[in-house]
């Protein structure tokens, strides 16, 4: 299959002076990120109401924003939604509704919704099934969404975002509904795809240890601003946890990431 | 931990990530799945054809039933070979029963499509023009025209009533949409607000009835029950034109609507302009429901039951669901029209009474089946 439309290399993602919010009130202010290299995974961390989801939605083009988001040569702020949606994929936190749509139909509808209009029925089904197999739920393709477990619906949701082959994939708490097995499964899969395809993944996570293990860089948000940014072992320190989360604890490096032990609230 | 099936993913030459898996042996699970999906699509197409056939058949039955029963063969002759029958029979078929039967078909189709779109746009299984007060608003607009002769300036005569009905329907739909978008209300809030609309407009219509002249009053009473008896070729033509305008746009929005069923944020992340989709859908809903109500009065529950039957039969892919809703609505209304002539022999019951008798149990079943969603 050939990539449609674009001959540019994936391009780095850079955010400068981004502001976004609701009803004229800025929830995130003056956010600078990147440049984020193709094929890397970034986690947005921070306490509740730090602006993680608002920032992610602004990156997804779902939230009015000012400032600059550049992907390669292209400016995403102010780009028409249909064009934006071709470059940036978004997986919302809530699971797909339990409706009478089979997994493969839901995946196909992700491609059809705002159509490039270049593919026939059979081709769409093939492409959808490719993605479902990649995500590990090819055998559930003909099952209705309503009959799946939460973890399976999360994977179906991931497939809907992946099937559009975005350059940048935004995941809002992709593992919050999942048990340990599925958490690792989703993170492993996402990292494999990121490494192989050059996709950029930005995700909101609550679990610091998971973020440290699976991200190339983390962004610590506090009060709508970036409190720290960098490789996990540099950005996540005991002092920062005290500053951002008002908790005391220790952070130690381990083989696969960081071990974070929280003592108490400050 | 079990590993995923490892499939080769080529590095992209150009920036777009590739998610292709390599070819698998024939007869694999993969082939079976693709085949099963093909069968699913074909089954739905066949079901659509069956529904279409059933609707045409029901139309024939509708024409054949009445004070003097005519066999289907005579109906056929009367429609296509009028020379084979005597004049009174041809007149009954062509000028009396055909407009009524077509009106039933069109009203059913229009209300059912309006209901299907409303359920998707408002993300609410109980939404329909009748249950959320759109029909009540339309009949209030119609009553304004009938009783007080009030209408938009520049319009005269026959247009006052349908345009009033449309304008009031559109106003009520905009209110509902603002509420649905406000998020504060939730599913329950929208239903309760719809009920409030029903009460308000019914009270307003009652007030108009109170001050109405004897003649206007008798017109109005029929209105509130929903009756096909007033169908004329002119009203059939207007509703047919509205349907002919709305259906293609509705079907064109089908893919975006399917995406809406997966969630609004998801649909937007697929590139769907949700505000635009909502606005034009609401415009269609108002035109379809407003025109229907303007010509035959408030007919309950077709807009609720039709889409749900279509959904049960064909699922949520709106490429099939929307046309299926059109057909199930047409079918239900045709059958209801037949029933309205047969229940009390020799008496033409208002068809709205029949649809309510069918609709209320379905409405209750929906509430009981999904307590979490209502």
What would the pLDDT profile of B116-151 be if each residue is shown by its tens digit?
A: 999 998 888 888 898 888 989 988 998 888 888 777
Dihedral sign for Cα atoms in the order B174, B176, B179, B183? negative
**B255 to A115: CB separation less than 8 angstroms, yes or no:** yes
CA distance linking residue B165 with residue B289, whole number of Å: 9
φ, ψ at A41 (rounded to 5°): -115, 130
The torsion angle over the Cα atoms of residues B102, B334, B79 and B244, rounded to 10 degrees, is 30
**B17 to A139: CB separation less than 8 angstroms, yes or no:** no
The one-character DSSP state at B147 is I
Asked if B271 reaches chain A (Cβ–Cβ under 8 Å), the answer is yes
The one-character DSSP state at B177 is H
- State the nearest Cα–Cα gap between B115 and chain A, in angstroms: 17
Tens of pLDDT, residues A14-53: 999 998 888 778 888 889 997 899 999 999 998 888 889 9
**A197 to B17: CB separation less than 8 angstroms, yes or no:** yes
Q: For chain B, 374 residues long, give each residue's pLDDT as a single digit of tens.
A: 344 444 444 444 444 444 544 554 556 888 889 999 999 999 999 999 999 999 999 999 999 988 888 888 888 888 888 888 888 888 888 888 999 999 999 999 999 999 999 999 888 888 889 888 898 998 899 888 888 877 776 666 667 887 888 889 888 988 887 877 766 556 677 778 888 899 999 899 889 888 888 888 887 777 777 788 878 888 899 999 999 999 999 999 999 999 999 888 899 999 999 888 988 998 899 889 988 988 888 888 899 999 999 998 899 999 999 999 999 999 999 999 999 999 888 788 888 888 888 888 877 877 776 544 43
Asked if B14 reaches chain A (Cβ–Cβ under 8 Å), the answer is yes
What is B23-83 written as a DSSP string?
P--TTSHHHHHHHHHHHHHHHHHHHHHHHHHHHHHHHHHHHH-SSS---HHHHHHHHH-GG
CA distance linking residue A59 with residue A55, whole number of Å: 6
Contact B40, A227 (CB under 8 A): no
Q: What is the pLDDT of residue B199?
A: 92
Disruptive mutation site among A113, A128, A140, A171 for chain B (greatest number of B CBs within 10 Å) = A113
- State the nearest Cα–Cα gap between B190 and chain A, in angstroms: 19
CA distance linking residue B101 with residue B103, whole number of Å: 5
Q: What is the pLDDT of residue A119?
A: 53
Count of C-beta atoms within a 10 Å radius of residue B107 = 35
Residue A86: strand, helix, or coil: helix
With CA atoms as reference, report the closest residue to A235 among A58, A222, A64, B265.
Answer: A222
Q: What is the pLDDT of residue B11?
A: 41
Q: C-alpha A108: how far from its chain's center?
A: 20
The one-character DSSP state at A102 is B
Residue B234: strand, helix, or coil: helix
Q: Which of B33, B266, B273 lies at the smallest CB-CB distance from A160? A: B266
With CA atoms as reference, report the closest residue to B3 among A188, A54, A248, A111.
Answer: A188
Contact list in B for residue A129 (CB cut-off 8 A) is 30, 33-34
Contact B251, B244 (CB under 8 A): no
Contact list in B for residue A196 (CB cut-off 8 A) is 9, 11, 17
φ, ψ at A229 (rounded to 5°): -150, 135
Q: Which of B5, B7, B315 lies at the smallest CB-CB distance from A101? A: B315
- State the nearest Cα–Cα gap between A12 and chain B, in angstroms: 11
A180, exposed or middle or buried, with CB in 10 Å at 0-12, 13-18, 19+?
exposed
The one-character DSSP state at B145 is I
What's the token pair of residue A175?
Answer: 């593992």
Domain ranges of chain B: 100-369
Asked if B29 reaches chain A (Cβ–Cβ under 8 Å), the answer is yes
Q: CA angle, corner B133, sides to B127 and B138, nearest 5?
A: 125
CA distance linking residue B111 with residue B329, whole number of Å: 7
Tens of pLDDT, residues A154-194: 899 999 999 988 999 999 999 887 888 889 988 999 999 99
**A198 to B30: CB separation less than 8 angstroms, yes or no:** no
ipTM greater than cut 0.90: no
- State the nearest Cα–Cα gap between B141 and chain A, in angstroms: 35
Q: How many residues make up chain B in this entry? A: 374
Count of C-beta atoms within a 10 Å radius of residue A121 = 11
The one-character DSSP state at A140 is G
Contact list in A for residue B4 (CB cut-off 8 A) is 134, 136, 185, 189
Contact A162, A193 (CB under 8 A): yes
Weakest-pLDDT range from A9-13, A196-200, B304-308: A9-13
Contact list in B for residue A165 (CB cut-off 8 A) is 16-19
Contact list in B for residue A122 (CB cut-off 8 A) is 34, 38
What's the token pair of residue A220?
Answer: 């610590």
For residue B154, the cross-strand partners are none
- A:B CB pairs within 8 Å: 189
The torsion angle over the Cα atoms of residues A27, A33, A39 and A45, rounded to 10 degrees, is -50
Q: Strand A88-91's sheet: what is its strand order?
A: A88-91, A168-172, A200-204, A41-45, A217-222, A225-230
CA distance linking residue A212 with residue A197, whole number of Å: 22
Contact A210, A128 (CB under 8 A): no
Q: Considering only the C-alpha atoms of chain A, give the largest distance between any 2 of them, rounded to a whole number of Å.
A: 59
Residue B306: strand, helix, or coil: helix
**Cis before A35 (ω within 30):** yes
Architecture of the B100-369 domain:
Orthogonal Bundle (1.10)
**A129 to B266: CB separation less than 8 angstroms, yes or no:** no
CA distance linking residue A184 with residue B119, whole number of Å: 37
For residue A257, the cross-strand partners are A254
Lookup result for tokens 């329907």: B169
- State the nearest Cα–Cα gap between A82 and chain B, in angstroms: 4
Disruptive mutation site among B13, B16, B33 for chain A (greatest number of A CBs within 10 Å) = B16
**B266 to A92: CB separation less than 8 angstroms, yes or no:** yes
pLDDT exceeds cutoff 80 at A110 = yes
């Amino acid at each position: 299959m050939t990539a449609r439309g674009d001959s540019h290399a994936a391009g780095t993602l850079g955010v400068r002076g981004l502001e976004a919010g609701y009803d004229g009130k800025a929830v995130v202010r003056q956010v600078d990120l990147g440049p984020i290299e193709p094929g890397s995974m970034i986690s947005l961390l921070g306490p509740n109401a730090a602006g993680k989801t608002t920032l992610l939605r602004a990156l997804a083009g779902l939230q009015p924003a000012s400032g600059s988001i550049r992907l390669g040569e292209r400016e995403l702020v102010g780009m028409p939604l249909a064009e934006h949606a071709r470059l940036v994929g978004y997986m919302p936190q809530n699971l797909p509704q339990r409706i009478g749509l089979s997994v493969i139909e839901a995946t196909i509808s992700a491609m059809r919704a705002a159509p490039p209009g270049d593919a026939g029925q059979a081709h769409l089904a093939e492409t959808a099934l490719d993605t479902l197999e990649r995500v590990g739920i090819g055998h559930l393709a003909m099952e209705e969404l309503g009959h799946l477990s939460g973890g399976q619906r999360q994977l179906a949701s991931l497939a809907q975002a992946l099937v559009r082959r975005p350059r940048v994939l935004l995941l809002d708490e992709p593992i919050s509904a999942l048990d340990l097995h599925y958490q690792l499964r989703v993170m492993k899969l996402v990292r494999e795809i990121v490494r192989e395809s050059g996709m950029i993944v930005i995700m909101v996570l609550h679990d610091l240890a998971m973020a440290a293990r699976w991200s190339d860089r983390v962004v610590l948000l506090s009060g709508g601003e970036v409190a720290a940014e960098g490789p996990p072992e540099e950005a996540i320190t005991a002092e920062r946890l005290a500053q951002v989360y008002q908790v005391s604890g220790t952070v130690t490096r381990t083989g696969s990431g960081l071990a974070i032990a929280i003592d108490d609230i400050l | 931990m079990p590993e995923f099936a490892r499939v080769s993913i080529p590095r992209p030459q150009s920036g777009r990530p590739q998610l292709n898996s390599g070819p698998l042996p024939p007869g694999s699970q993969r082939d079976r799945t693709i085949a099963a999906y093909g069968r699913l699509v074909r089954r739905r197409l066949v079901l659509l054809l069956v529904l279409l056939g059933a609707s045409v058949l029901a139309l024939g039955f509708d024409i054949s039933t009445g004070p003097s029963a005519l066999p289907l063969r005579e109906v056929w002759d009367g429609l296509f070979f009028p020379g084979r029958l005597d004049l009174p029979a041809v007149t009954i078929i062509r000028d009396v029963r055909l407009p009524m039967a077509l009106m039933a078909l069109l009203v059913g189709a229009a209300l059912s499509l309006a209901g299907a779109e409303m359920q998707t746009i408002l993300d609410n299984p109980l939404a329909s023009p009748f249950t959320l007060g759109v029909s009540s608003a339309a009949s209030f607009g119609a009553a304004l025209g009938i009783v007080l002769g009030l209408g938009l300036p520049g319009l005269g005569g026959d247009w006052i009533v349908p345009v009033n009905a449309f304008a009031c329907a559109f106003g009520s739909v905009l209110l509902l949409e603002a509420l649905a978008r406000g998020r504060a209300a939730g599913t329950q809030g929208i239903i309760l607000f719809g009920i409030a609309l029903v009460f308000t407009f019914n009270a307003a219509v009652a007030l108009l009835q109170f001050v109405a002249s004897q003649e206007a009053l008798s017109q109005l009473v029929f209105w509130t029950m929903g009756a096909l008896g007033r169908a004329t070729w002119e009203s059939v033509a207007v509703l047919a034109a509205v349907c002919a305008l709305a259906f293609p746009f509705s079907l064109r929005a089908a893919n975006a609507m399917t995406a809406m069923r997966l969630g609004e944020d998801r649909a937007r992340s697929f590139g769907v302009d949700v505000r635009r989709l909502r606005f034009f859908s609401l415009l269609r809903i108002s035109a379809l429901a407003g025109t229907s109500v303007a010509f035959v009065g408030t007919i309950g529950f077709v807009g609720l039951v039709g889409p749900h039957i279509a959904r049960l039969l064909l699922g949520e892919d709106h490429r099939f669901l929307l046309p299926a809703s059109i057909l199930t609505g047409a079918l239900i209304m045709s059958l209801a029209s037949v029933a309205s002539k047969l229940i009390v022999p020799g008496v033409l019951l208002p068809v709205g009474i029949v649809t309510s008798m069918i609709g209320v149990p379905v409405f209750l079943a929906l509430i009981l089946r999904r307590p979490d969603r209502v």
